[in-house]
Amino acid sequence: MSSDSPKRRYNELRRMVDRRLSALVQRSGPHDVRMALKDVLNAGGKRVRSVLLLLSCQAVGGDVRMAIHAAAGVELMHNFTLVHDDIMDNAPMRRGRPSVHTRWGLNHGVLVGDILLALAYSCVQQTKGANTERLLRLFTQGFLAVCEGQGKDMEFERKNDVRLPDYYRMIEKKTSALLSMATAMGGVVGNGKVGQVEALRQFGHHLGRAFQIQDDLLDVVANEAELGKPVGGDILEGKKTFLLLKAVEEAGRQDRAALAGVMRRGSGSGGSRRKTGIVRKITALYEKLGITEAARAEVHRATHQATRALASLPDNDGTAMLHWISGMLLRRES
């Protein structure tokens, strides 16, 4: 592959998914619901999960065209989680645009999420030739896990004694589950052997951890313009990120008091000067305690574990692309 060809290939697959999703819009009924669905399905996004599914299928020797329905299904389930999570997190924006419930009202937020899920199952069930039963079992397992992850996340918001092991358990459900579901499903559609499907699942699992900790890291190290939202938002919200929990683990008594203050939330109120002060103080503390470095190391470690899982897969363009995506996620800045 030439140096820019992985990117071209990625975009080619992404557009394949986009086209499949756009084709779903006209199907549903009432005008407002249709428009809200269109908003979600045309809002773009990296389509990471669906592209991973397509490439996992290719990696075990399958034809990506056989996997397009399952890929669309996974992307729809991901979007279902975004729409409902935005309601639960009270998030006004998504991908630089008003979230569904903000633009169309709460009722449409709930219903559009439900419809995305119904369409998701409907798509996965259109997969031909493959072991549909196994595919759907993986899909429902992922669905259950992601609900459990959201439940844990909501519980985290109220708890002030969250520790790193809790964090790992939470992101396993909330982030890794959908990624490992996607890669395993790709392996199943491609008729991969049991060991290959398991390797793909492992790949997705570790990649999910890398992805989530990288996300946490970007909140403090990213450029505001690239991030598309203010730096330090997680700090002000008191979000239990890898950084905050690792810092609590590493801090002495005095620093721990400052971190406990962040955890109790409420830092979000007050003037913007006060907010900037808090973000600066905590970021400096992270630097002092070596937390940003620890996060970087953890992302590298998880990425390495992910790519190591690929070792047992055939050496083909699909597997090469999975390697490339791991690197891309590591280098991403938003």
- Which range, of 147-155, 202-210, 230-238, 242-250, touches its own copies by CB under 8 A? 147-155
Q: Out of 122, 276, 292, 305, which residue is the one contacting its own copies (CB under 8 A)?
A: 122
Residue with Cβ nearer its own copies (28 or 292): 28
Closest approach of its own copies to the CB of residue 8, in Å: 35
> What is the distance, to the nearest Å, from the Cα of residue 302 to the centroid of all Cα atoms in its chain?
15
- Closest of 40, 43, 13, 44 to residue 28, by C-alpha: 40
* Ranges within 49-88 binding its own copies (CB under 8 A): 84, 87-88
Q: Taking CB under 8 A as the rule, does residue 333 contact its own copies?
A: no
Q: Taking CB under 8 A as the rule, does residue 25 contact its own copies?
A: no
User: Residue 332: what are its φ and ψ, rounded to 5°?
Assistant: -65, 150
Residue with Cβ nearer its own copies (141 or 305): 141
Q: Taking CB under 8 A as the rule, does residue 114 contact its own copies?
A: yes
Total residues contacting its own copies by CB under 8 A comes to 37
- What is 31-95 written as a DSSP string? HHHHHHHHHHHTS----HHHHHHHHHHHHTT--GGGGHHHHHHHHHHHHHHHHHHHHHTT--EET
State the pairing for strand pair 93-94/97-98: antiparallel
The region, left, alpha or beta by phi > 0 then psi within -120 to 50, assigned to residue 231 is: beta
Q: Across the strands, what pairs with 93?
A: 98
User: Residue 248: what are its φ and ψ, rounded to 5°?
Assistant: -60, -40
Q: Taking CB under 8 A as the rule, does residue 154 contact its own copies?
A: yes
Q: Out of 107, 160, 223, 316, which residue is the one contacting its own copies (CB under 8 A)?
A: 107
Q: Out of 91, 147, 258, 328, which residue is the one contacting its own copies (CB under 8 A)?
A: 147
Residue with Cβ nearer its own copies (14 or 239): 239
Closest approach of its own copies to the CB of residue 273, in Å: 32
Q: Out of 117, 189, 259, 278, which residue is the one contacting its own copies (CB under 8 A)?
A: 117
Closest approach of its own copies to the CB of residue 7, in Å: 35
Q: Helix or strand or coil: residue 15?
A: helix
CB 57 within 8 A of CB 318: yes
Euclidean distance between CA atoms 332 and 216, whole angstroms: 12
CB 262 within 8 A of CB 244: yes
Count the neighbouring beta carbons within 10 Å of the beta carbon of residue 166. 16
Q: Taking CB under 8 A as the rule, does residue 97 contact its own copies?
A: no
Closest approach of its own copies to the CB of residue 235, in Å: 22
CB 196 within 8 A of CB 322: no
Q: Out of 150, 303, 307, 326, which residue is the one contacting its own copies (CB under 8 A)?
A: 150
Closest approach of its own copies to the CB of residue 61, in Å: 24
**Binding site residues, its own copies, CB under 8 A:** 28-33, 84, 87-88, 106-108, 110-111, 113-115, 117-119, 121-122, 125, 132-133, 136-137, 140, 143-144, 147-148, 150-152, 154-155
